[in-house]
Amino acid sequence: MSIDLSTLSVKELNSLISTAKKQQAKLSKRAPITQVRAKLIKIAVAEGYSIEELFGGAAASTTAAGKRGRKPGPKPGRKLGKVPPKYRNPANPKETWTGRGKQPRWLASLLSKGKKAEEFLIKAIKK
């Protein structure tokens, strides 16, 4: 957040300073996160739970998905292996595309200019 202080009046500056001091006091009264985390772990263990059981994974804060009752993490489904690239950008040979997923911008722009995808195929190296 960036505030241009040169455009504020004296009254607005005083209000900003007072709000900032209140926020600083509020934050300084909080215990360090490591202490709070240790307390939570201690309470969970005393009740016979682990943090993973209670929060569904790592001991990080709950996410929006966790609040709705879903387990956070990768979506279930078929696992696809690594695929070698099929297309290469002629202007920048480091840019390649496997043919899976959304077309990269460089290929989409070349195709919109009338080129064909076959022109950018990477030639297979024969052994």
1, two tokens = 């957040």
**Same structural domain for residues 63 and 101?**
no
The pTM of this model reads 0.37
Is position 82 within any domain? no
3-state secondary structure of 118: helix
User: Measuring CA to CA, how many Å separate 63 from each of 40, 77, 120?
Assistant: 17, 22, 42
**Same structural domain for residues 59 and 102?**
no
Is position 3 within any domain? no
Is position 63 within any domain? yes
pLDDT single digits (tens) 7-41: 889 999 999 999 999 999 998 888 888 888 889 88
Is position 24 within any domain? yes
Is position 6 within any domain? no
Is position 77 within any domain? no
pLDDT single digits (tens) 68-112: 555 566 667 777 788 899 999 999 999 999 998 899 999 999 999
The answer to whether residues 56 and 71 touch, using CB atoms and an 8 Å cutoff, is: yes
Is pLDDT above 50 for 63?
no
Is position 46 within any domain? yes
- Residue 104 is which amino acid? P
State mean pLDDT over 45-61.
Answer: 75
Count up the domains in the chain and report the number. 2
